[in-house]
Amino acid sequence: MKTKLCALLLALCAIFSLSACGGDATPSEEETENPILQNEDGIRFQLIEDTYAVVGYKGTKTEVTVPAVFEGVAVTALASDAFYGNAKITAVSLPASITEISPFALAACQSLTSLSVAADNPVYQSKGNCIIKGDVLITTCPGSDLSVLTVTEIGDYAFYGATDSKIVLPATVKKIGRYAFAFTTAQQVSLPEGLETVEDGAFYFARNLTALALPASLSSFKQDSFAYCTSLQSITVAEGNTTYTAKDNCLIRIADKTLVMGCAKSKIPSDGSVTKIGPAAFAGAVSLESITIPASVTEIGKNAFYATALTRAYFEVNRWYVSADDGAVIGTAIDTKNLLSETGRPMSSEQVVVYNARLLREGYAQMKWFTK
């Protein structure tokens, strides 16, 4: 017993001695990762594989020049947090070595008026204080001049958080990428004739946008492209568009008669041009207080009226329908647990249903009936 105890004490002493002398020990998780280093200008770097990426900026200079080399290793990328949201920097210059720019790297920099890339950069170029990759506009700043561009695509997140009050896109643009104008404060964005595609969340939460005028050329429009544009009052489509039309401030997909987007000033047409209200169609229309659903509508998609001020909805139908979608909101006074198994019942056209908007916004289907 004494022998075992002595052996244990000796082992513990050996461990403590190694620790005190700086002997080998299991490194922490933080120590095993590549450390973040900083140069004299406050630019922060991290080694990723065998090159450095800019991962932050802690400097005081308002004009920042990213070096091509740090500690003898090439600097090839701007990570998402490189300069994101920096309110003080006014100019950023990038070297020829930068071959990757993450979507948020230069976003929401409200004082930034100058963006430049070395002329011999093989991937990116700068023009009009914008950064371009081929025919794609990658990122902009408040000082950007879009009139000198001939790009065909607005890249993902290109104007994310932009503070411009008015944005006029080049006439050459055919596609707007994902979340390209999300969280901008622009009151007006001019969309050119020739624009064909608007991707997911392109104008998500562009809270100051008051009017939307879509060109005749637009043929592909994601359901949530303009979700939560809380100030939107007007929706129009240019004459000649064969995919979409606008009636009473409602955007309607012609082929399947789906209302894909509405706003606070919308009135759903009762002429039979709308049979379905699409998912999130009115989402974020915060001043929408009441709506009338015409008899032609037989289905309402998930979250169609989510985050509105809706207090009353009037249904004028003679046949009721409950979608199998878990967010469906139109239907009979059935219990929520039967939502997926019941499909409604015939009603006279003189009957309507009135219920609290929470049922619309949160997807419940239990309703109160009354006879008009």
Q: What pLDDT does residue 185 have?
A: 92
Answer for the pair 46, 53: CB distance below 8 angstroms, yes or no.
yes
28-69 confidence digits (pLDDT tens): 334 447 899 999 999 999 999 999 999 999 999 999 999 999
Q: What pLDDT does residue 311 have?
A: 67
Within a domain: 118: no
Q: What pLDDT does residue 129 have?
A: 96
Within a domain: 331: yes
Q: Which tokens is 168 given?
A: 């006029």
Mean pLDDT of the chain: 80
For residue 334, what pLDDT band results from cuts at 50, 70 and 90?
very low
166-209 confidence digits (pLDDT tens): 999 999 999 999 999 999 999 999 999 999 999 999 999 999 99
Answer for the pair 254, 232: CB distance below 8 angstroms, yes or no.
no
Within a domain: 172: no
Q: What pLDDT does residue 136 have?
A: 98
Answer for the pair 294, 305: CB distance below 8 angstroms, yes or no.
no
Distance of alpha carbon 36 from alpha carbon 220, whole angstroms: 43
Q: What pLDDT does residue 94 have?
A: 98
Domain count, the chain: 1
Q: What pLDDT does residue 293 have?
A: 83
Within a domain: 294: yes
Within a domain: 177: no
Across the range 279-303, mean pLDDT stands at 83
Within a domain: 314: yes
Within a domain: 11: no
Domain span at residue 351 reads 266-372
Nearest by Cα to 307 from 326, 288, 329, 328: 288
Across the range 133-146, mean pLDDT stands at 95
Residue that wins the pLDDT comparison between 97 and 4: 97
Taking 50 as the threshold, does the pLDDT of residue 158 lie above it? yes
List the beta bridge partners of residue 369: 353
For residue 328, what pLDDT band results from cuts at 50, 70 and 90?
very low
Within a domain: 319: yes
Query: What single-letter DSSP state applies at residue 187?
Result: S
